[in-house]
């Protein structure tokens, strides 16, 4: 491919990448992580920023410090805040193409760039004002510098200086981009010419000196070991989700991936083994394996976002396979097919723009405010299981009371619902709050709104009105004539394949009883099992649902199948009352209901379930 053809193709891909990143740009609300970052810019001094905005989480200070000063100058509108991050994401696509060209061929660079231009993986993290697109850019810049140092016998000093700066900035941006750059630096010793190794070593020392001010913060964050228990431990199938996300969970688009893998293996078999051809793959393997092992043995940190920095390297590496084909027209056809399959699956299969423009928090506020304006001075309660975002978005302007409900603590919600003060309830659920929806429905029977978004749902209930939404299907209603102190009382025992379930369904169980005291340790239990081997066991105690003795107590219990990934054909569900201290109670009735929950809950990064 001649220089002019490459330049034309290069700019076409850049324009396509820009269109996908800037389409509907001003209508994309903040994500959960961005709200968190913006929330942590509300400090008066730099010291407060470091103490309360940086040291409380695991990311280096670089991006948070940048946001602190940037938002003071330019404000906090989402599209304004994101602009530098999106530009760096776009520049990363350019670097991917240039690195691919420098290492392998012009066609390889263009194929890698085409993948990055239309892949949701790269598009989404270019639109998030978090460390991901800056980290990707600085990692790619360090790779570009290293390739120049390895390819040129007469490398100039400026490349070593730029290399040092890019290594340091990677370390200031994200812990995994820092680790990736460290691996690149050590592999680089075997790539640069021997006569340049002293300069190369010095570039590492300079990068370390530039990073010195951050070392106390790094050591403090290192002691945290991870991000906490909220991130699940990855299993061995994570690699399939990872590749699936990169290629849109589309079998058609995955054809491109399989072609790239197979053709790259063939090309490598024909070449003389050289580290320069393998160091991108080695970097990806080292980072992936160490992150995976650390997540399984110490603390889970593995997620798609932190692998972005090495994903670009892997894409460049497997794009080498296009050189197996010698016909330029066929090569260009493959690049065009990649752009076509990626863009169509992004828009239709992934529903990317529908999902990303309908953010849970902003859309929930819009719905809540709309209902509040129609309320005609009737009292409205707003309930959420998120602690600070409703405050930042001023949900209080659209409700008479805001109520935050912590996980496994529905007692305060129950107190407010039974108070009789409120005519309606707006409820924003961020991921999961088991039992809450069924509890609200029991007090407010008119279900008027049920909107589903990535990461959560918004529901609106009223005491009166047409019940427009049918969320639950009652499959079992059981009346009891029991009073005693037995340790176990059966509610239901059935095969899941006998129920009309989808993979995103939830099973809600409501059990009504009377007890002598709330201190009695009585709970409702579900046991999801496969041939008597427990797959999921969970319990709800009466103290989590009520705060004071009532004539009749209702226990609300939820089994979220989307979280469990249950195999409907093989698993059995058993539910019962567990009374370990043999306290006296009276059983009244039980309901077992199926709710069509939120299939979009993980739609932004996961495969969207269809059954």
Q: Can you give the pLDDT at residue 228?
A: 55
3-state secondary structure of 473: strand
**Interatomic CA distance for residues 506 and 478, integer angstroms:** 19
| Structural domains for the chain | 3-222+233-356 (no CATH), 364-462 (3.40.190), 472-596 (2.60.120)
Cα–Cα distances in angstroms (integers) from residue 332 to residues 5, 90, 317, 327, 328, in the given order: 10, 22, 18, 9, 6
Q: Can you give the pLDDT at residue 185?
A: 95
CA 22 centroid distance within chain = 21
Residue spans of the chain under pLDDT 70:
154, 225-230, 566
Residue among 458, 255, 238, 249 at smallest CA distance from 352: 249
**Interatomic CA distance for residues 443 and 457, integer angstroms:** 19
Query: pLDDT averaged over the chain?
Result: 91
Residue among 114, 89, 109 at smallest CA distance from 99: 109
**Interatomic CA distance for residues 471 and 429, integer angstroms:** 15
Question: By the 8 A CB rule, do 458 and 485 touch?
Answer: no
Q: Can you give the pLDDT at residue 552?
A: 87
How many C-beta neighbours within 10 Å does residue 225 have? 13
How many C-beta neighbours within 10 Å does residue 31 have? 22
Q: Can you give the pLDDT at residue 566?
A: 67
Residue among 567, 549, 555, 566 at smallest CA distance from 591: 555
Establish how many alpha carbons lie within 13 A of residue 371's alpha carbon, considering only the half-sphere containing its beta carbon: 26
Q: Can you give the pLDDT at residue 406?
A: 86
3-state secondary structure of 607: coil
Cα–Cα distances in angstroms (integers) from residue 232 to residues 394, 483, 552, 563, in the given order: 31, 41, 37, 10
Can you give the pTM of this predicted structure? 0.90
**Interatomic CA distance for residues 389 and 547, integer angstroms:** 26
pLDDT digit string (tens) for 451-510?
Answer: 999 989 999 999 887 777 788 888 999 999 999 999 999 999 998 888 888 888 899 999
3-state secondary structure of 471: coil
Q: Can you give the pLDDT at residue 229?
A: 63
pLDDT digit string (tens) for 14-65?
Answer: 999 999 999 999 999 999 889 989 989 988 899 999 988 888 888 899 999 9
């Amino acid at each position: 491919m001649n220089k002019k053809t490459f330049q034309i193709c290069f700019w076409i891909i850049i324009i396509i990448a820009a269109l996908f990143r800037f389409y509907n740009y001003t209508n994309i609300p903040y994500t959960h992580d961005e709200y968190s970052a913006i929330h942590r810019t509300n400090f008066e001094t730099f010291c407060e920023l470091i103490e309360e905005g940086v040291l409380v989480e695991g990311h280096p200070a670089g991006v948070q410090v940048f946001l602190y000063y940037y938002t003071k100058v330019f404000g906090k509108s989402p599209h304004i805040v994101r602009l530098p991050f999106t530009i760096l994401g776009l520049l990363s696509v350019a670097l991917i193409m240039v690195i691919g060209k420098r290492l392998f061929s012009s066609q390889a660079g263009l194929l890698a760039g085409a993948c990055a231009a239309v892949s949701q993986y790269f598009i989404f993290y270019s639109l998030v004002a978090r460390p991901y697109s800056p980290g990707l850019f600085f990692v790619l810049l360090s790779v570009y510098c290293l390739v120049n140092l390895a390819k040129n016998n007469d490398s100039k000093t400026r490349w070593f200086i730029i290399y040092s700066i890019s290594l340091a900035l990677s370390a200031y941006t994200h812990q995994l981009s820092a680790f990736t750059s460290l691996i690149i630096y050590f592999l680089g010793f075997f790539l640069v010419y021997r006569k340049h190794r002293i300069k190369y070593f010095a570039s590492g020392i300079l990068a370390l000196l530039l990073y010195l001010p951050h070392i106390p913060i790094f050591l403090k964050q290192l002691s945290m070991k991870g991000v906490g228990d909220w991130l699940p431990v990855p299993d061995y199938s994570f690699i399939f989700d990872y590749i699936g996300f990169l290629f849109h969970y589309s079998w058609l688009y995955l054809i491109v991936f399989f072609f790239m893998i197979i053709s790259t293996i063939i090309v490598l078999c024909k070449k003389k083994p050289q580290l320069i051809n393998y160091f991108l793959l080695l970097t990806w393997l080292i980072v992936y394996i160490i992150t995976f092992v650390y997540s399984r043995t110490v603390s889970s940190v593995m997620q798609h976002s932190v692998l972005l920095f090495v994903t670009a390297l892997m894409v460049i590496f497997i794009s080498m396979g296009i050189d197996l084909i010698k016909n330029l027209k066929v090569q260009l056809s493959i690049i065009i097919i990649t752009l076509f399959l990626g863009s169509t699956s992004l828009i239709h299969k992934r529903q990317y723009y529908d999902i990303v423009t309908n953010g849970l928090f902003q859309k929930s506020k819009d719905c809540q405010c709309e209902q509040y304006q129609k309320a005609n001075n009737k009292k409205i309660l707003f309930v959420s299981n998120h602690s600070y975002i409703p405050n930042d978005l001023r949900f209080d302007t659209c409700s008479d009371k805001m109520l935050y409900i912590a996980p496994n603590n529905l007692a305060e919600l129950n107190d407010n619902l039974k108070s009789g003060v409120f005519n309606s309830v707006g409820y924003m659920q961020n991921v999961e709050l088991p039992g809450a929806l069924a509890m609200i429905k029991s007090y407010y029977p008119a279900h008027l709104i049920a909107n589903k978004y990535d990461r959560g749902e918004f529901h609106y209930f009223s005491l009166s009105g047409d019940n427009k939404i049918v969320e639950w299907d009652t499959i079992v209603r059981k009346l009891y004539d029991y009073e005693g102190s037995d340790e176990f009382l059966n509610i239901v025992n059935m095969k899941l394949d006998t129920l009309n379930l989808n993979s995103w369904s939830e099973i809600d169980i409501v059990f009504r009883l009377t007890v002598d005291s709330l201190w009695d340790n009585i709970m409702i239990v579900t046991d999801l099992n496969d041939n008597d081997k427990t797959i999921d066991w969970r319990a709800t105690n009466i103290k989590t649902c009520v705060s004071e003795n009532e004539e009749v107590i209702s226990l609300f219990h939820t089994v979220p199948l989307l979280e469990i990934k249950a195999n409907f054909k093989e698993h059995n569900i058993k539910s019962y009352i567990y009374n370990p201290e043999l306290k006296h109670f009276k059983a009244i009735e039980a309901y077992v209901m199926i709710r069509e929950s939120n299939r979009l809950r993980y739609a932004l990064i996961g495969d969207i379930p269809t059954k």
